Amino acid sequence: MSNVKAVEVYDAGNICPDDLPWVSYFGVAHFKLLKVNPVTGQTITLLKVPAGIQLPTHFHPGTVIVYTISGSWRYMENDWVSNAGDVVYEPAGSQHTPESLGDEEVITLNIVEATLDYVNENGEIIARDNWKSLLEKYHDHCEAEGITPIDVTQF
């Protein structure tokens, strides 16, 4: 008799970003919600930011991975610039202020664990996004535009 338990196996899924709408974010940027994991709190999004835009300062209690698809951007607190093809790894506990550079819009792929906590100049949390709030923004956008939402919570 064996003590080995069978492993539950899941099928991989394919996400076609063209099937998902761009949702307004901060009135200047847009995101596409590709996937949310209600169990872990992970979100996967595309973010599109026009050239020359500064987004609010935010804090990450979880890790973040950002792949730059197009354009150039930086965190105002750092010396480096992320260009198309670059990957930025943000450890849990990091805080920064993103800024798009040049004259080309920036598009990034973002894998976020936990929340995005937007902070004021005193470091106090003034707004928070997580898988639930992003999913709600996505559903609200779909309802307002008469779009049938795709279930981005399933495997």
Q: What is the CATH number of the domain that holds 137?
A: 2.60.120.10
Kindly give the confidence (pLDDT) of every residue in the chain, 155 residues in length, as a single tens digit, with 9 standing for 90 and above. 578 888 888 888 899 999 999 999 999 999 999 999 999 999 999 999 999 999 999 999 999 999 999 999 999 999 999 999 999 999 999 999 999 999 999 999 999 999 999 999 999 999 999 999 999 999 999 999 999 999 999 86
Task: Say what the pTM is.
Answer: 0.92
Helix/strand number for the chain, H first, E second? 1, 13
| 96 token code pair | 């920064």
Query: In terms of Cα–Cα distance, which of 146, 122, 120, 106 is closest to 25?
Result: 106
Segment 121-124 long-range contacts (CB within 8 Å, at least 24 positions apart):
123/59, 123/95
Does a structural domain hold residue 150?
no
Query: Could you tell me which residues are beta bridge partners of residue 58?
Result: 96, 118
Tally of domains within the chain: 1
Range of the domain at 80: 17-145
